[in-house]
Amino acid sequence: MDGSPLPRERSPVACQSVILFGLTGGIGTGKSTVAQLWRQEGLPVIDADRLAREVVAPGTAGLQSVVETFGPEVLGPDGALARERLAALVFSEPTARHTLDALLHPLVREAASRRFLELAEQQAPLACYEVPLLYEVGLDAELSPVVVVTASLNVRRQRLRARNGWSDAEIDARIAAQLPLEEKARRADYVLDNDGDRESIARGALQLLAELRAP
């Protein structure tokens, strides 16, 4: 989805009994690695990207809206959304990115609200919302604190080539679609540097989690 600035939105937080903080970063920085480490420690983490996939699953109104807007060519042979085809379309045309955002953001917010209500009913004291476009959609006004995962551009490029097989042009398009990582880090309450190995990021992530869990 598009990373260009959008109007500030109300948080999808459903119940204030849960202390909800934000996790974000740039593409390829490894924020999902941090989220997984926290899940292993028992912290509830809601992933906005996962919700975005759920709201366009086969048979959903979200998928129907995407197909009606962008055409049946965004579907794979199995009738599921062909995400790479859609990405190639929207990352080559800014107007298309805005259109996709307008379709999916409200659906993701609704799905997130349901998840947060479930956490409140379970009396979870602390939870994390992992949102790639956290600052871009104004959720920093509602989530506190905000943790940003950073990494150097060279490291991010290496990861994205290895993970996705993207060309430099594809990587540049996706990085350009987000708020600059330096700006995210400047606005963050906490910054986790992920230029090192997994042991290094694990150590920093677990230390931070202990701090966030402290009374």
Give tens-digit pLDDT for 16-73. Answer: 578 999 999 999 999 999 999 999 999 999 999 999 999 999 999 999 999 999 999 9
Q: Which three-class secondary structure state does DSSP give residue 215? A: coil
Give tens-digit pLDDT for 93-109. Answer: 878 888 998 999 999 99
Give tens-digit pLDDT for 65-80. Answer: 999 999 999 999 999 9
Give tens-digit pLDDT for 145-162. Answer: 999 999 999 999 999 999
- The answer to whether 213 and 127 are in contact (CB under 8 A) is no
pTM: 0.87
Instruction: Return the pLDDT at 17.
Output: 74
Mean pLDDT over 111-119 rounds to 94
Closest listed residue to residue 31, CA positions, set 142, 150, 146: 150
Instruction: Return the pLDDT at 90.
Output: 86
- The answer to whether 187 and 61 are in contact (CB under 8 A) is no
pLDDT cut 90: percent of the chain above it: 75
Closest listed residue to residue 34, CA positions, set 177, 164, 115, 147: 147
pLDDT grade for 89, boundaries at 50, 70 and 90: confident
Average pLDDT over the chain, rounded to an integer: 89
